[in-house]
Structure 1
Amino acid sequence: MFMTAKEVADLTGYLKPSAQIKWLEAERYGYAVGGDGHPKVLRDVVISRLGGIQSKKGPHLRLA
């Protein structure tokens, strides 16, 4: 469902949540900020953006 904190850091190239959020916004990735202040990114969104095949299992969130 959501990427791990390490995966978000690998994607953005930043460890600090505020820098990750800045990068995600610049690259137009959807995210939500958790109670811990870290961005939460859906794994399927990233896979889709990078040209991969999305999983067909379970419900999917549609982003407008």
Structure 2
Amino acid sequence: MATPNYSYEKRQRELAKKRKAEEKRQRKLTRPDGSPEGDAGAPEAGESSAPDTPASETPPAKP
């Protein structure tokens, strides 16, 4: 019976960790607002999902 190659398994786990960390770093760099990824879609307490801009502050339409 063959013995398990623990060093190979360990190396694969390390490579997977590095890959995951690099993907996370890339996601952080490409995020435009710099806010945490998990909270990007959900409004914070006190905020609504609708824009707070009144109609009087919207720019006029171009003719």
- TM-score using structure 2 length: 0.27
- Larger C-alpha radius of gyration, 1 or 2? 2
Structure having the higher strand fraction is 1
- TM-score using structure 1 length: 0.27
